[in-house]
Amino acid sequence: KAGRYSFIGSKPKVEVLGSGSKVTVMNHLNGTKEVLDVDDPLSVPEALSADWKIEESEDLPDVFNGGWVGYIGYDTVRYVYPNKIPFETAPEDDRGLSEMYLALYDKVVIFDNAKKCAYVIAWMDLDAFPSKEAAQAEGKLVVENLVNELKSSNSPPLMPGSIGIDTNAFSAKKMPCNMKKEDFMAAVSKTKEHIQAGDIFQLVLSQRFERRTFADPFEIYRALRVVNPSPYMIYLQTADAILIASSPEILCRVDHQEDERVVTNRPLAGTRKRGKTSEEDQALEKDLLADEKEKSEHIMLVDLGRNDVGMVAKDGTVVVESMMDIERYSHVMHISSTVTGKLKDSVSSWDALRAALPAGTVSGAPKVRAMQIIDELEVNRRGPYAGGIGYVGFNQTTDIALALRTMIIPTYSKDRLYSYEGGEARKEWCVYIQAGAGLVADSDPESEYQETVNKSAALSRAIDLAEDAFMPDK
């Protein structure tokens, strides 16, 4: 199913934003806004949908067709471990973004890229109608209106542009960073001291870069799709930010297989650049699989994945389905493994998501101690970075991508698709790009610093290409 289906939703029915202990619920159906004080913000959307009884059409593909969509930031782990990783010890929050944003979409368009067709879907609340037939009749009208809206020419036109593909290029533009080079390298050295003392085995240290651009966020997304295609391509507008992502990694997936709900965790760690020829590519693959440092780090993360799945899976059902496969992408190849388990009858998709947060590939091992040290070393809260972006469907089917290779663009208000008309009066956007490096006992501070610079420059390249393609007179 990877890459076959694309999903579009707009005008959510409900929006849930979590910030600290406060959760704001905006119900657009009845125009209400409620602020709740809770210990776990994920419990709010979970409770809102707990009693739903779903009747799905058999004519639809077995994929997401409506439900909760949004992001669960890295810092939501503080709700899962409130005593061990409290908000009081968190780094400074200098952007004020929500820790969690989930929106309920009951109208969705699914594009089947293989069959070249689209499904237009509207969910109806049967309790709001005198009969099932009345609900179906209203649903047909809603779908007809959606189709007419899709066909209308009132939407802002997409700016035409030609994107040149230079897959080996990084952006040459220097970006301000929230850590000085010497401070980052000192943090690497401090991490190695923790490893040598036996506090942790591995830790992922990140820093955040900033890029200003007049390219529209959707233009950046269009460029990113061309130059860095990945299993998860995401353009998400939330109440206070736009997220643009090309993530290769699953944080948490729950799907139905026969009569069971199966949870999947897929660690991705160990990287080499792609070769210029098939022969060079094969040689780099062999080099990667022979690298003891990369292998030991990956095995450690597989063990973390098994532990995360084991927390919510039935006894004896946790299986490593694949171990140390090579996955190839446009710029790089990674070592990947797949861990699955059958969910306990007593747990929900939300429980599986809580158990997965955050992925070991963005925190370290042991996970809790690594996150405590991250709080000591990193300058600002991570926000959406290193959390998850995706959906929990009406039927509890869940697919959450790890928020890597993700650009975060604060808006603090709802912006429409394009921030200008006719290419005029463009708005300047602030784009945040965060990148991390996996640190172990023999990590070199200079090399680890450069790894974060290269990762951020690869994403920044998409901004360069968007400016070149859609702003020819910049």
- List the catalytic residues: 334, 361, 385, 405, 438
b/e sequence 253-281, b meaning 16+ C-beta within 10 Å: bbbeeeeebbbbbbbbbbbbebeeeeeeb
Which of 270, 76, 300, 294 shows the shortest CA–CA distance to 200?
A: 300
Which of 363, 268, 351 shows the shortest CA–CA distance to 43?
A: 351
- In the sheet that holds 406-410, the strands lie side by side as 232-237, 241-247, 406-410, 429-439, 202-213, 364-365
Which of 238, 248, 240, 243 shows the shortest CA–CA distance to 220?
A: 243
